[in-house]
Amino acid sequence: MKINNRLKTIGDLVPLSSYPLDIGCDHALLSIYLVKEKGIQKVLASDNKSGPLKKAKENVNFYKVKDKIKLVEAEGLDSYEEGIDTITISGMGGLNINKILDDNKRYLKNINTLILSPNNYSIAVKRKLTKLGYHIDNEVLVKENNIIYEILVFKKGRKYYSYKKLFLGPVLMTKQDNLTKEHYQNLLETKRSLLKALPLSFSNKIRVTKKEIKYLEEVINI
Ligand SMILES: C[S@@+](CC[C@H](N)C(=O)[O-])C[C@H]1O[C@@H](n2cnc3c(N)ncnc32)[C@H](O)[C@@H]1O
- Residue-wise pLDDT tens digits, 114-138: 999 999 999 999 999 999 999 999 9
**What is the residue range of 39's domain?**
5-161
The Å distance, Cα 104 to ligand 1 centre, comes to 17
Q: Residue 97: which residues within 8 A CB-CB, separation 6 or more?
A: 89, 116, 118, 125
Pair (140, 113) in one structural domain: yes
157 and 180 housed in the same domain: no
Using one digit for the tens of pLDDT, what is the confidence trace for 145-162? 999 999 999 999 999 999
Note whether 91 and 136 are same-domain residues.
yes
Q: Are residues 20 and 108 in the same domain?
A: yes
In this structure, is residue 169 part of a structural domain?
no
Asked whether residue 69 falls in the same domain as residue 132, the answer is: yes
92: CA distance to ligand 1 center in Å?
6
205 and 107 co-located in one domain: no
94-116 residue pLDDT tens = 999 999 999 999 999 999 999 99
Last residue of a domain, one of 133, 161, 189: 161
Count of domains forming the chain: 2
Q: What is the pTM of this model?
A: 0.96
Atom of ligand 1 nearest to the CA of 47: 22
Instruction: Let me know whether 138 and 211 are in one domain.
Output: no
Longest dimension (CA), the chain: 59
To test the ligand 1 pocket, which listed residue (48, 120, 149) has its Cβ within 8 A of the most ligand atoms?
48
Are residues 128 and 196 located together in one domain of the fold?
A: no
* 49 and 141, same domain (yes or no): yes
What confidence category does residue 222 fall into, taking pLDDT thresholds of 50, 70 and 90?
low
Claim to verify: residue 36 and residue 142 sit in the same structural domain: yes
pLDDT at 221 over 90: no
Do residues 114 and 203 both lie within one domain? no
- CATH code, domain with 93: 3.40.50.150
Q: Do 21 and 44 form a contact (C-beta atoms < 8 A)?
A: yes
Is 44 within a domain? yes
- Does a structural domain hold residue 209? yes
Q: Say yes or no: 47 and 128 in one domain.
A: yes
